[in-house]
């Protein structure tokens, strides 16, 4: 009796894993079979999210600098400001806010879109014509998002640094070249293993 139950849940577990593998494989195939849809989705997702990411990153960069500046000044370490901001922004804040914004904006958009497609029987129509709607509609969006989020994160980093540079300039003029070289100097330090682990999270 008990044995049977265990068997059943084991079975479920493995078939679940099997389904996941099949789903992933289908996605991989779809990547090659619907490139146009993929590009289109990528374009929409990028364009929809870019302004939001730019504004947020800019403000975050500015605020981070403004907030850290008095403390660093108290310790007489104002020169470290660009380095500190760039490390924290590029390694942590940039990717995190991009990911959060995308999760909020893109996923709710996709949710609404799929809902509308379901109601107007478009998904049924695809299924009847021999297309797996899951592959075509969902996979293209997932793959497009997967590629776009790193790109958006990169842009967010750049804009964040720009914001930071501008806010430093509100107190004292500083050349852009100096700012950038300081910022990237501190990034050049090798990552400690613990840091690498934290970025995985």
Residues within the interface to another protein (CB under 8 A): 40, 113, 116-117, 120-122, 124-131
Nearest distance from C-beta of residue 79 to another protein, angstroms:
52
Shortest Å distance, C-beta 195 to another protein = 42
Cβ closer to another protein: 72 or 110? 110
Neighbours of 66 (CB within 10 A): 15
Closest CB to another protein among residues 116, 166: 116
- Judged by CB, which is closer to another protein: 88, or 135? 135
Q: How far is the CB of 23 from another protein (least distance, A)?
A: 13
Query: What are the two backbone dihedrals, phi and then psi, of residue 181, each rounded to the nearest 5 degrees?
Result: -70, -40
The token duo for 120 is 């107007």
Q: Which residues contact 23 (CB under 8 A, 6 or more apart)?
A: 134
Q: Nearest-CA neighbor of 89 among 164, 174, 151?
A: 164
Least distance (Å) between residue 76 CB and another protein: 58
199 touches 88 (CB < 8 A) = no
Q: Closer CB to another protein, residue 120 or residue 146?
A: 120
Cβ count within 10 A of residue 76: 8
- Minimum Å gap between C-beta 113 and another protein is 8
**CB-nearer residue toward another protein: 39 or 166:** 39
Helix (H, G, I), strand (E, B) or coil at 186: helix
């Amino acid at each position: 009796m008990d044995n049977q139950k265990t068997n059943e849940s084991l079975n479920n577990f493995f078939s679940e894993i099997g389904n996941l593998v099949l789903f992933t494989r289908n996605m991989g195939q779809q990547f090659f079979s619907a490139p146009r849809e993929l590009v289109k989705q990528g374009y929409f997702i990028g364009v929809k999210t870019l302004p939001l990411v730019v504004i947020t990153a800019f403000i975050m960069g500015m605020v981070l600098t403004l907030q850290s500046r008095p403390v660093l000044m108290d310790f007489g370490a104002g020169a470290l400001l660009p380095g500190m901001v760039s490390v924290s922004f590029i390694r942590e804040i940039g990717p995190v806010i991009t990911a959060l914004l995308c999760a909020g904006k893109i996923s709710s958009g996709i949710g609404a879109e799929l809902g509308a497609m379901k109601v107007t029987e478009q998904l049924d129509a695809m299924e009847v014509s021999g297309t797996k709607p899951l592959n075509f509609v969902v996979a293209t969006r997932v793959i497009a998002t997967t590629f776009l989020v790193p790109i958006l994160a990169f842009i967010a980093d750049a804009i964040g640094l720009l914001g930071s540079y501008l806010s430093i300039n509100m107190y004292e003029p500083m050349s852009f070249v100096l700012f950038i070289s300081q910022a990237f100097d501190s990034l050049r330090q090798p990552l400690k293993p613990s840091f690498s682990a934290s970025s995985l999270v």
